[in-house]
Amino acid sequence: MNGINLFPLFLSFKVASASVAIALITGIPLAYFLSRNKNRLSYFIDSLMNLPIIFPPTVLGYYLLVLLGRQSHIGKFLENNFDIMIVFTPLGAVLASTIVSIPYLIKAAKVSFEEVDKDYINAARVMGKTETVIFFTIILPIAWRGVISGVSMAFARALGDFGTTLMVAGSIPDETLTMPIAIYNSLQADDGKTANIMVLIMTIIALATLFIISRLSYKRKGERNA
Amino acid sequence: MLEVNATKILGDFTLNVNFTHERGILSIIGSSGCGKSMTLKCIAGLITPDSGTITINDKTLYSTDSKINIPARLRKIGFVFQNSALFPHMSVYKNIEYGISDKPRKIREQAVKDIIERTHLNGLGKRFPHQLSGGQQQRCALARTLVTEPEILLLDEPFSAADGHTKHILESELITIIKHNFHKPVLLVTHNIEEAYRLSDRIMIIENGRCVQTAAKDKVIDHPASVNAARITGCKNIFPADIISSSGKETIIKCGEMTISAAGIVPDKDNIFIGIRAHYINILSEQTSGINIFPCKIIEVTEGIFSTTVITECGGNLFRAEISKTSEALKVFRKNKKLFIQIPPEKIFFTTE
């Protein structure tokens, strides 16, 4: 692979990993909240979770720019107090791909949390356990397949994000240029070889994700029959 | 001593239960959706009542007046669920250990070992729930509950997942284990009156969210407190009755076109009904002298394995009788002869709506 700049590949992996990590930390508690509460607030948050899927990526990116740009309140606050800039930095790319990928994680986790039989939770309660202990010892271990499949989907989505990342982080070579944008750029520059290799890598990752997800759901069915 | 007085409104269903239970097994019986399981869940703290008080041994678990609502995890209650609810990702050993995981390791190991022995689960510690038979699963569920040394044991239809033959074995296994290892109050929810009678000391009948009757099991069978209670306890023959006369020993009643003599005590209420259980009714091939013998018309005969069910019409009432398969009357019936039913006066009970 001489002559090919692999920076976009590594950046994409770093960005996607960071996004999934953030999505896990914030998304799992949110998914748990949504699975346990059925009220107006939870329905509202639940539908809000669909927005990143429904919105065109550029529109979503535009909103993030307005919300977090250097001229916005939040942007100014972060820059003045912490010297943090989001727009046109790798941080912006992480934020963009977190926003577009977190719905997939939350949805998958929420469904698998809901599928945990209420009797297991009640049994653990009468056996003297707190809700937090029950979450880590009963709910998460029983629902982990759903969580992993959500993580895989979120990772794939984060890795492949184009529009939102381009809007928020731009495509500064060796700084914020991620794989999907690099593919586009190399095609624009008539560099078919680079584009092909990158497309191949992305395809393998997508297929691997698909394999993991179907493998997990297959095992889940098998376990029930046992 | 368990004292429950709780009300919970859910949509158009109202649960309003009021009972006490001191020792032995109390069966809670009623049709599905009558609030049996809900009652257990209120006691366990898995459902919060709207108002009332729940106390165990003078310790208040729930009280609207003093704003007490102890969370389920602090109530020290043993609960066995219908489908055992064993944690599928944990071995038998881990399931049993789960409730005492905060205790020191030595005590924990001894307690688990001990209860595995008592519940006859020896050698199964490393198995996972799906590798156990239904009976082993319920024994494991019982073991993991007993190991926490609860103040009361609540069993929510623990045998309903088992079928016929295995059910009887499971029943006697579980009840033997409980009787040998647990000497505090036990509540057993069931919808099967036979099961309730076999296993418990007292029976409570719930109907539409209300306790209709709580009494010693024989009293519930002999004197159901209401028509529905009588039906729930399996009585097939219940008729509205008009009291003609009542002396200390004998009550004469009119039931359709029949005038029947009964020995029970008449409740001082309107809308009196009489009931008689199917196996107390005799079918005779000829009219002998005696009381309460009426000519009848056979409507339907259904042969069971050990007895035969005969539906007869008599004075505008349909009676269902459970008679022996070797009954003389049945042979006569096959020859199309006239038959008579006999209703023993002392087996008739009075009840109201």
pLDDT confidence of residue B285:
80
Q: Give the minimum alpha-carbon distance from A21 to chain B in angstroms, rounded to a whole number.
A: 26
Chain A residues whose beta carbon lies within 8 Å of the beta carbon of residue B89: 141-142
In B13-158, where does DSSP find H-type helix?
Answer: 36-44, 92-98, 105-118, 134-146
Residue B165 has pLDDT above 90, yes or no: no
pLDDT digits (tens, 9 = 90+) for A9-65: 889 889 999 999 999 999 999 999 999 988 899 899 988 888 888 889 889 999 988
Please tell me if residue B145 touches chain A, with a CB cutoff of 8 Å. Answer: yes
Q: Are residues B214 and B258 in the same domain?
A: no
Nearest to A128 among B41, B81, B99 (CB): B99
Residues B35 and B108 occupy one common structural domain = yes
Tokens of B286: 């000829």
Structure ipTM: 0.84
CA distance B129 to chain A (A): 10
Q: Does one domain contain both B203 and B336?
A: no
| pLDDT recorded at residue A212 | 82
Whether residue A34 is contained in a domain is answered as yes
CB contact B83 to A (< 8 Å) = yes
Domain that holds residue B122: 2-232
Q: Which residues on A lie below 8 Å from B99 (Cβ)?
A: 127-128
CA dihedral B317, B320, B324, B326 (to 10 degrees): 60
Report pLDDT digits (tens) over B178-228: 999 999 999 999 988 888 999 999 999 998 888 989 999 999 988 888 888
pLDDT at B163: 75
- Residue-level pLDDT at B340: 87
Q: Is A132 on the interface with B (CB under 8 A)?
A: no
- Helix, strand, coil fractions of chain A, as percent rounded to 5: 80, 0, 20
User: Does the pLDDT value for residue A70 go beyond 70?
Assistant: yes
How many Cα atoms sit within 13 Å of B35 on the Cβ side? 25
In a domain, A1, yes or no: no
Summarize pLDDT for B108-126 with one digit per residue, the tens: 999 999 999 999 999 999 9
Instruction: Give first-to-last CA distance, chain A, whole Å.
Output: 48
Domain end residue (candidates: B232, B267, B295): B232
Is residue A114 included in any domain, yes or no? yes
**pLDDT of B320 higher than 70:** yes
- Same-domain status, B79 and B166: yes
Which residues of chain A does B78 touch, with a Cβ-Cβ cutoff of 8 Å?
126
DSSP code, position A129 = -
Task: Tell me which of A174-178, B239-243, B247-251 is least confident.
Answer: B247-251
Of B212, B232, B252, which residue sits at a domain end?
B232
